[in-house]
Chains A and B, each alone.
Chain A
Amino acid sequence: MKKHSVILLILSIFSCTSCDFSLVEHPYSTGGDMINSSGGANQMVTAIYNVFWSSELMKKSYMETVDMDHDHAAAPTWVVSGAGEGNMTTHWSYNTASDPFNAFYRIINRANYAIENLPLVKDTTDNLVGQYMGEAKFLRAFAYFHLVRMYGGVPLRVSYESPLDMKRSSVMEVYAQIEKDLLEASVVLPWKTEGDNWGRANRTGAKLLLARVYASIGSAALAGKVNMEVDIKGLIQTFATDSVAGFSRVDASVYYAKVKDLCDEIITTRGIYYDLRPSFKDIWGGANVRNNEFVWGISGNSQLDYTTLHLGYYYSAIPYNGRGWAGMSEHAYGLYGDSDERGIHGIFHFVKQSFTATSAYVRIPDDATKYPTGPDGVASRAVADYYNIIFPTKWYMGDVVSPKPVTVDPGYAYQAQDVIMIRFVEAYLLRAEARNELEDPLGALDDLDIVRKRAKAGPFERYTSNKITVRSLVMEERALEFVQEFNRKFDLLRWGLYLKVMNSVGSVRVQGTGLTITKTREPRSLLYAVPLNEININKKFGTNNPGW
């Protein structure tokens, strides 16, 4: 008996001591030691890009929040999910971790981590650490540029461990940080990224983005002082622009001079790194992926993790692998001239309502002489109430000149697709805008003509030197060129036109049972609603944007 108890006593004591050791945790999680691991520098930077492929950005929300709330967008109310009706608070992601506000700050957080840790990386075999630094800064600037345009002044977090409570910086303070990051990035980045580097930020992209930033500042500084002509459902109306908050003491000409300098510099590199594609049909579609006009975009592949829900799927029409939910309004399409390839090849001319519909193709536009028979050889049908969205071919991954309809519902229609964010052609459009504001409207028309001739749209040939007209033409040309490329809403906002244009348009016809979608906006829609967590938790943030 005694023996037993002694043995057991020892055993139990042994069981005590042996266990306290194992209380240290070794999580099954990786990545915490990138500074010491080979490839760590690359991993830090790769992680920043990763945010783009989340439902809060390119998979879904980016399109809904950035590209559906303007006069040219046409999509049923459920597709735009509140955000496209000027009310971010009814968007599915609002206040959740999927809110785009969170996503942009996640980019900033990861960029801050990389910017602080890249210099500490011990891996000497990777000689691209300098370039990675530039990429991180480019991405941080890209995120802040979106935040400042969507939410106004926001807390400026430029270090990984910034205090929890942080006040909103002024709009111009945010812009100053964006400018600083892009200037630094454009020194260290290579001019061009291609092949296995496609998707990485590059110097051309940094400079073009910076030019767009300067133009945003310049135009916002002019807003409230200048007039603009806008085509409202076929009727040209002149608007006195509203002033844009945050730019009262900014001298527009300083910024436009910088725009012009940057664009001049970029244009001198034309053909060396990036170029204009010769014609519209050489830009888009499956045959032209990653061509040399695409300066920078979100790089996709066929894995679901890296595909966008919206572009190929929502934006393309039935039966071209798409669902035909989101497109452009009738009057936006009407802006294209008869010879403009952006109108000729830029939209699907024969669409169906659904795969199950046995009826004939509907012709768009409703021109029986031009589009007498559909792709199936059967006489096409007139436009009915159901077909009021014009679907651009821009994001179609087949042949945009002769799109090939499919006969059965493809169901799974996601495809490898890049989301193009910066195109070389913008250098001309930004320079045109700058030249006009720098008292060279005729030079501006020259730049526009480069864009128009490529599209086979009639050139302007210096027909006017009226600054208001040229300003309006530049803005309209941006709309024509960049339809569904995430610019129109910001163009309306930065020129102080958003409320007036939207309320003048009133509503546009769309597909679906509601048949129209309203475009009337209250003043609160000028800025997005900030997620409530920011307001409730960040003690210094202050109140939400006006009206929210």
Chain B
Amino acid sequence: MNKKRLTFLLLCLLMAFHQVLFSQTVNISGNVIGESDKEPIIGASVMIKGSSRGTTTNINGKYNIQAKKGEIIVFSFLGMESVAAAVGKDPTINITMKTSSIEIDDIVIVGYSAVKKSDLTGSVQVVKNEEFMKSSPVSFEQGLQGRLAGVNIIKNDGAPGGGISVQIRGTNSFMGSTEPLYVIDGVPLTISNSSETVSFDNNEVTFRNALAFLDPNDIESVEVLKDATATAIYGSRGSNGVVMITTKSGKKGKDKINFGASSSFGLVANKIRLLTGAEYAEYRNQSYINTQLITNGTFNPQGLPYLGAIGPLGTYVNGPTDFDNDPYYWQDQIFRTAVTQNYNLGYSGASENGDYSLGLAYLNQKGTVVNSGYSRISFNLKLNRQPNKWLKFGNTINVSVANSDMIKSATSNQNNGDEGVIRSALYFPSIYRMEDNAGYEDYQIVTNPIDYANALNKNKNYNIYNSNYMNISLIKGLIFRTVFSYSSSINFANRYFSKRLYEGRTVGGQSLAGDTQNQTTVWDNLFLYNGTFGNHNISATLGTSWEANEYYSKQVLTNGFGSETNNGWILNEGTDPQTPRSVKQESTLFSLIARAAYSYKNTYFLTGTFRRDASSKFAENNKAAYFPSIGIAWKPTAEDFLKDSELANNLKLRYSYGTSGNAGIGPYGSLPLFTGANYPFGTNVLSGYAPDPSKPGNADLKWETTFQNDIGLDATLLKGLNFEFDYYVKTTKDLIQNMELAPSTGFNTVYANIGEVMNKGCEFTLNYKLIDKKNIQLSIGGNLSFNDNLVTSLGAGSKKIFPNNLWNDLRPFIISEGHPIGQLYGYTENGIWNSRTEVIESPLFQKVYPGYTVNSQTAATEKIIKERWIGEIKIKDLNNDGSITEDDQDYIGNVNPSFLYAFNMNFSWKGFDFSVLFNGVSGNDIINMSSLRFQNLGQTRNIPKDVLDNAWKPESGGTNPKIFTTNARDIYFTRRYIEDGSYLKLRNISVGYSFKKPFKQIESIRIYANGNNLLTFSKYSGYDPEVNAFGSNPSSRGVDAGGYPQSREINFGINVSL
């Protein structure tokens, strides 16, 4: 429907200044109707062949045109086969148009202009509302999963309102975001998941979804721009691809009212088999016995932690048989069936002079972890007015308010018990029951998961998005367009870490309140030109864009709560207020934009774009960046020799080359900054300032530039088989790296441009309409994409970069030449040390204790052998230097999938429709952070049964380390903690039935049901292989940090249209 509107709009603009016609012509009029529904076609083009005279049909499908006898009138409309009629005697010509059997020629919105898809020289994919709504997504990105080739969409975790990361054509940054640029109705959106997240907790890695404010129902279509000719126009923000979001507009015809309601039920798909209460107690006893025997040679039977008899204190000490929890006890306490309700009301219409669309929606989503949820009220209004022929204006307003009840889930910490609700539920000893009300301090060193679930953790988001435009037709074909947009997003967060949580325990409860405020103002001024001269068509855009962003955040926290009855809401109850903190940042971007597209005979196409971005964020020596691109296309099917081919209905070959950038730098990112560094002398705190350890400044810092080649083929064969193929090679230079500095410099990191990465890959999309009859349709489709990521250069600097520590010294990710971003690096195992002889005779041992033989009996050394060697993991000494050092590490995994794939089937028969979508990734690794704890056998945490079953024992050996309580155990990062993350998911299955005119007053009713994530095929031992704790951070993807598990959902809904 949108196509009709757009065509109409475009034609209106083109026709605005047509000439006064000659008088010796005949007035021809008539109706244009569609063949299938016999409904009038609004806005169809009525052109006199070989001239520039023409008109369009009105709201009733009627037209009126002056024509000479013998002239040919061509009626055309998007998605319909064109009809030609000669002017004869009859002044009335009625036309019935047939639906085009070839691919509908969409109008796609590319940067700063609208183009017919068939005229594109670049790689652009479109997903319509009906498609992404099939899964009833809460946020539209979720609905795109599996629907686009080359686009990897991962829900970071299953938390309601949680972040979703979208990655197009691989990773081309070390640390800049991998998120594409989002553009709503032509205006770039600057907020990001991380700037929207109020973070009180350095270890927490859960992100909010910055796009959650958009109700997917309000979105008409989503276009994804992938290659350089499409993205270069977005300059320094285009290199991760661009996602263009078009919101719904009113359509001509009767005013429409739509009402939709749906409910869904979600449940965590699987649970992990841990130790039961009794098994856990046995395990702890065994740990005690082993540890005592190894360190002291004896053990005190009375000292068993779960003795099951009268203990040394004269009281009964519980034994294993006194505990009856099942292995899922704590998981069952935190998980529940989550119910989501979603309502939306839409009201839209249009008249001669404009259109309107209004949407109102309410969402109330409960999470599968108790006490978590997300609710949103959103309002969307879009108006377009055309008071006269030369002026058009309009605006979009979107207001939304969202409330999140959050739960601390994924954390990067591995040490101290602040590991979030999911890992706590796994680690928390199964000897405790809810009614025991056990806290952190009963020696188990794990926070009670229920305490996490009960902790106050609320987030409120207010989002206002407004954009206004005015188009003025200056002369024929030339339009001046000005767009002014303002958007603002405010997040308020309140959090309380009670004394029962690790985080609040030592400080007597900690209450935090904070907010972030983002404001963006955009002002674009553009000249748009479109002209046809015979066989030549030229369209061009020239203009400027100015953008200003403001960011402000503040946080206050206070500690020391005597009473916790107010859950920390009342900050002044805390006895120990801490220094408030705030951040203020401003940035401006000023750009020149130029785009020109030329086509000859609708057969040869050439597009050139150029953007100059001058950004305040860029370093002093590099304030402006230039991004040119070029695209060419050829349609062989428009040539005479293929014109009437039955086999190839439409063929287009495309090639594009160009650059786009990734600014990747925050405001002030290039400047040397100082940080407050106070100190209390006597009784006064004096102010001090020190060079910021992570901001030494780099005056040469610049954006990252991506050079992309893309060659593509679009084909429609046999009138029903659509095929798209793209092959691309992207080289990204000047990658920004938060380059670590040697700690002895006193600085930690500095931003620097180092290195080059290459992504190359190919994408296939195929859709085949097997049956395409009036009452029955069946189509199948799918996509497949491969991407190969390779760091080709790291410049003159370090040849090995460890982009970040996940925790402590474990730095599983490495960036090094010849390896991808996302390469995992670590040690190689060689079994377990089984015997004293094996240890003593090994070169590793001999290096530390030269000359020690099997017959030697030094007590201290014997003890070390028992503690540190036997029953512990044997690491391969790869360089054979006799000791295990950094240099014994190797490349041991890769978190990048080797390919992504999806396939779908759509079937409809009369009012009934059915669709199914599978998608999968293959060949990627996942780091399972929980297993780092699990494999450290002997500590006071619960573990999975199979980990215990494989623990090393002197008599029988084993594949896991021995059960031994120590903190000095060397934990070497090996494949032990890495798992295959490949999966295939039944992403969505949906079935619906539409009643046309069930009642006189009602246009249609559709009832439907759908299921999401119903089946997952995977070898992963955690909850779900779809994990991405670190969100859009490109260099630490694929980590399961104890994130909120994804859920299986079943959804029922109804849509009523009046």
Contact = CB atoms under 8 A, between A and B. Distances in A.
A25 B671 contact: yes
A8 B747 CA distance: 50
Interface string B655-684: 000000000000110011111111111111
Contact of A46 (B305, B499, B523, B687): B687
Interface string B471-514: 01011000010100000000000000001000001111100000
A460 interface: no
Contact of B809 (A52, A94, A110): A94
Contacts of B506: 309, 313, 412-414
A516 interface: yes
Nearest to B558: A304
Q: Which of A20, A300, A541 has the largest number of chain B CB atoms within 10 A?
A: A20
B864 A97 contact: no
Interface string A500-530: 0001101100001111101010111000000
Contacts of A535: 886
B864 A29 contact: no
B681 A199 contact: yes
B967 A196 contact: no
Contacts of A235: none
Contacts of B544: 12, 15-16
B313 A359 contact: yes
Given A313-B506, A515-B292, A110 B691 contact: yes
A420 B565 CA distance: 38
Interface string A359-398: 1000000000000000000000100110000000000000
B525 A15 contact: yes
B590 interface: yes
A303 B576 contact: yes
B204 to A, nearest CB: 16
B743 A5 contact: no
A187 B295 CA distance: 52
A543 interface: yes
A30 interface: yes
Contact of B525 (A12, A86, A94, A110): A12
Contacts of B480: 4-5, 8
A295 B673 CA distance: 35
B559 A106 contact: no
A315 to B, nearest CB: 14
Interface string B836-874: 000000000000100000000001100110011000000
A15 B883 CA distance: 66
Nearest to A507: B295
Chain A interface category by residue count: 35 or more
A20 B965 contact: no
B805 A518 contact: no
Contact of B588 (A23, A39, A91, A531): A23
Interface string B912-935: 000000000000000000000000
Interface in A56-103: 77-78, 80-82, 85-87, 89-97, 99, 101-102
B329 interface: no
Contacts of A106: 690, 693, 746
Interface stretch (A154-162, A221-229, A344-352, A435-443): A154-162
Q: Which of B415, B445, B672 has the largest number of chain A CB atoms within 10 A?
A: B415
A112 to B, nearest CB: 8
A52 B313 CA distance: 43
B949 interface: no
Nearest to B441: A354
B808 A96 contact: yes
B689 interface: yes
A99 B743 contact: yes
Given A25-B616, A154-B744, A411-B505, A97 B693 contact: yes
A80 B809 CA distance: 17
A216 interface: no
Contacts of B998: none
Given A16-B544, A94-B809, A412-B560, A50 B679 contact: yes
Given A53-B679, A537-B740, A27 B499 contact: no
A90 B668 CA distance: 36
A345 B668 CA distance: 56
A157 B968 CA distance: 32
B1028 to A, nearest CB: 22
A518 B966 contact: yes
B688 A199 contact: no
Contact of A515 (B303, B616, B693, B864): B303
Contact of A27 (B295, B668, B676, B883): B668
Interface in A138-185: 154-155, 157, 162, 164-166
Interface string A1-37: 1001100100110011001101111011111101000
A247 interface: no
A548 interface: yes
Given A46-B688, A109-B747, A412-B509, A305 B313 contact: no
B687 A384 contact: no
B992 interface: no
A49 B679 contact: yes
Interface in A474-516: 503-504, 506-507, 512-516
A96 B412 CA distance: 12
Contact of B743 (A4, A101, A544): A101
B328 to A, nearest CB: 25
B862 to A, nearest CB: 9
Nearest to A505: B860
A151 B608 CA distance: 60
B546 A19 contact: yes
Contact of B416 (A8, A15, A39, A92): A92
B961 to A, nearest CB: 14
A190 B1056 CA distance: 85
A537 B292 contact: no
A514 B291 contact: yes
B508 A412 contact: yes
B338 interface: no
A89 B588 CA distance: 44
B390 A1 contact: yes
B310 interface: no
Given A80-B967, A197-B681, A532-B886, A27 B742 contact: no
B863 A514 contact: no
A162 B745 contact: yes
A120 interface: no
Nearest to B617: A25
Contacts of A199: 679-682
Given A113-B691, A412-B559, A28 B523 contact: no
Given A23-B623, A299-B682, A537 B798 contact: yes
A177 to B, nearest CB: 14
Contacts of A113: 690-691
A123 interface: no
Nearest to A32: B674
A149 to B, nearest CB: 16
Contact of A304 (B499, B507, B680): B507
Contact of B742 (A31, A51, A385, A538): A538
Contacts of B300: 385
B312 interface: yes
Nearest to A504: B860
Contacts of A410: 508
B584 interface: yes
B848 A523 contact: yes
A105 interface: yes
Contact of A49 (B292, B688, B689): B688
29 contacts: A8-B480, A8-B482, A22-B548, A23-B614, A24-B616, A25-B616, A25-B668, A28-B584, A29-B675, A31-B690, A44-B690, A46-B679, A46-B687, A95-B808, A97-B694, A99-B743, A109-B746, A113-B691, A157-B744, A164-B741, A196-B682, A305-B678, A384-B312, A413-B506, A506-B859, A515-B288, A537-B740, A538-B742, A547-B883
Given A5-B472, A46-B677, A53-B679, 6 more contacts: A8-B525, A92-B415, A109-B691, A164-B745, A301-B683, A544-B885
